[in-house]
Amino acid sequence: MEHSTVIDAPIADVFEWHRRPGAIERLIPPWQPLHVLSEAQSLSSGTAVLGLPLGIRWSARHLPSEYRDGARFVDRLDTPILRNLVPWTHEHCFEPISDTSTLVTDRVITRVPDGVLAQNLAYRGRQLSGDLAAHRAAADAGGVPMTVAVTGSSGLIGSALCAFLSTGGHRVVRLVRSTPGSSSGSGIDQRHWDPDDPSPDLLDGVDAVVHLAGEPVAGRFDAAHKRAVHDSRIGPTRRLAEIMGGRTFVVASAVGIYGPDRGDEILTERSERGDGFLADVVSDWEAAADPARESHSRVTHVRTGIVQSPRGGVLRLLRPIFEIGAGGRIGDGRQWTPWIGIDDMVDIYLRCLVDQRLSGPVNAVAPTPVTNRDYTKVLAHVLRRPALVPVPSIGPRALFGAEAVHEFVAAGQRVDPASLAAVGHEFRHATLEPALRHLLGRVRLDVA
């Protein structure tokens, strides 16, 4: 099986991207049940190890005899049991088309059916092209290689962002609450971070901080959960802000600040905040960064919508339900869904890191929100399943409670990314169907 992609970047840049930590993480299709256990330390030798269900490991050994610097590297499946069942040799070839474009060809020799492989290889090409384009856009916006500290680096957004930044030539420092150790062989640094009392030298040598950590919002809104959601955000954000010392500070936030139901009102960063528990939390969360502003840091608050990825969040929950034909709208389905693809999400974080024109709130949503009814129709269409089973409110109410359903499960906001539009930011997937097809491996390859 062979697949080629033309990349709008010089061959040296494309090959160097593959050398950096995080490359294999960026190229693994998110619909596959794989995760990176360790990366090969070199394209010319060493072994990358991926985890499969049931504790099975996929070891891909790089072949020194097949390596051609700047032009080719080859890995071969080296797991004793698997290599007899599914022999696998993967050739990665790079040819210059011009001074500014490169032909990248993936050639796989295996018994795996072509239909399965085709989506995987096409995804790799789209992902490589999209990542390099995003880094090129960041450079055009004034970005230079920097050292970025990241909290919440093991979460859905954090893990994708760390790999994205490191393959783009940035040094990533993971701020972790546990004792620092090896970061799964990724070559990414770790430092111990006490959220309640960060060390004064925590950010030595760091140019910018991305703060993602916080208790997940999903859950029953009882007193204990609400306290955990609030306290995990406000105090740690303020403590970090107090030691920012003029560094760029990019802080996670949420569209929940606009309240659970604003109808068809178009909500920009200049819209008034709404009412409710989540609006109160987000308002306090953003205010907690004031000490950083006072120290002349540029601070952005990334008001995140509903992130789309089969690796986590809402899509991970909905995908198996829709695949068996049991999916449908929530309630009447008229509420707006401010969605954003995971790759556009990391692009926005990079933009906030490098673009000096961005400060204050930034709506991290796609420019084309959809209603919940339309979202379910598109997801069902992509998966080739019906969407005929509406979810009555009584079910989520029994599971999460009335307040959580009103504020989170059935909330709707018609959010517009006005600040990003003002700086000319381009989205990889501005509309829902192409985003879901990319993430779920359902792209029509005959027209891709």
pTM to 2 decimals?
0.95
User: Which token pair is 294?
Assistant: 């006072």
pLDDT of residue 104: 98
Answer whether residue 186 shows pLDDT above 70. Answer: no
Answer whether residue 447 shows pLDDT above 50. Answer: no
CATH topology of domain 147-440: Rossmann fold (3.40.50)
CB 35 within 8 A of CB 51: yes
Integer-rounded Cα radius of gyration of the chain: 22
**According to CATH, where is 3.40.50.720 located in the chain?**
147-440
Closest by CA position to 316, among listed 349, 342, 335: 342
Residue with the bigger pLDDT between 235 and 399: it is 235
pLDDT of residue 14: 98
Average of pLDDT values for 361-386?
A: 95
**According to CATH, where is 3.30.530.20 located in the chain?**
2-140
Band of pLDDT at residue 387, cut at 50, 70 and 90:
confident
pLDDT of residue 182: 45
Kindly state the DSSP code that residue 245 receives in the 8-state scheme: T
Average pLDDT across the chain, whole number: 93
Q: Write the pLDDT tens digit of every residue in 25-73.
A: 999 999 999 999 999 999 999 999 999 999 999 999 999 999 999 999 9
Q: Write the pLDDT tens digit of every residue in 124-142.
A: 999 999 999 999 999 999 9
User: Which token pair is 377?
Assistant: 């129709």
pLDDT of residue 395: 60
pLDDT above 70 covers a percentage of the chain that reads 95
CA dist 74 and 77 (Å) reads: 10
Say which CATH architecture domain 2-140 belongs to.
Answer: 2-Layer Sandwich (3.30)
pLDDT of residue 118: 94
Answer whether residue 294 shows pLDDT above 70. Answer: yes
Answer whether residue 411 shows pLDDT above 90. Answer: no
